[in-house]
Structures are given as C-alpha cells and as structure tokens.
Amino acid sequence: MRILKLLSLLLPLILVSCQLEPSHVIYNNVVIPLDQKSVPETATVNSPFSIYAKATTDNGCWSNISFVFDTLAGKEFELYALADFESNGVCPEVALMADTVITITPDSAGDYIIKFWNSASTFDRDTVRVFAVLPDR
C-alpha cells in the first residue's frame, strides 16, 4: 500500500518533468517537385537545345537543392531535384529556390523523351521531336 502511495506521488512528478518537444528530424536527398519546366517542341540534329527546370521549397527547413540529369536508354532522359530537410518542429517561413538549364545536342533524329520527377513515384513526361532538318512551316 505504501508503494502505491509513493508511485501515485512520483508519477505526476515524472510526467511533468518530461520535455514533450518535437524530435529532431533529418532527411537527405528527398525528391522535391519541379515548379517549372520547359523544353522545345522540336530541334534539329547536331544543334543543341536547352531544358529548363525550377524547384521551390515551401519553408526554411529545406536546404541544398540540387538537380540530377540522367540518360536512361538511348533517347530517354530523366531530370529531378533533390533537397535535404532538417527540423526541430518549427520551420522558418522562407522559401528556397533553385533552377537549372541542361543542354543536349542530339546526334540522330527521333523523339527524345524527358521524364520530370515530381516525387519518388510520380513524373511528367515531355517529348522533343528531333528532325534531320526542320520542316517548313
């Protein structure tokens, strides 16, 4: 009985002394959505064309935005943005923005496909039709 009284007195003291602050959270290399992306509709063989992409985070817990451009197979490419996230529960209301321009010089005619990743599982696809000589309009 004495132990129960002692526990009933100590339990509220223990609970009050606990700090219930949010934990420290860190994520590295998180795929973030691309706000803007631009590719030409057509291009010509051996003439460079540019791909533009911009990514913006919604708060100041994000940092180190970087872009990755990879060749998948033949005329298929992918572009995505990565960022790091670190928080102690409160994030400053400051947006972080970065952009990039990628230049490709096609060596043959055909459809060049670019995948723009919006998350680790979703993407948008765009196509640049490359001609040996641009058709008359």
Which three-class secondary structure state does DSSP give residue 83?
Answer: strand
Give the count of domains, the chain: 1
Tell whether 11 is covered by a domain. Answer: no
Contact of 98 with 35, CB cutoff 8 Å? no
Tell whether 63 is covered by a domain. Answer: yes
Contact of 120 with 81, CB cutoff 8 Å? no
Tell whether 2 is covered by a domain. Answer: no
**What pLDDT is stored for residue 6 in this prediction?**
46
Tell whether 117 is covered by a domain. Answer: yes
Tell whether 16 is covered by a domain. Answer: no
Average per-residue pLDDT in the chain? 86
Tell whether 74 is covered by a domain. Answer: yes
* pLDDT tens per residue, range 85-134: 999 888 999 999 999 999 999 999 999 999 999 988 999 999 999 999 75
**What pLDDT is stored for residue 1 in this prediction?**
57
For residue 84, the cross-strand partners are: 63
What is the model's pTM?
A: 0.77
* pLDDT tens per residue, range 48-61: 999 999 999 999 99
Domain boundaries, position 99? 22-131
Tell whether 15 is covered by a domain. Answer: no
74 DSSP assignment: T
CATH number of the domain bearing residue 104: 2.60.40
pLDDT at 63 over 90: yes
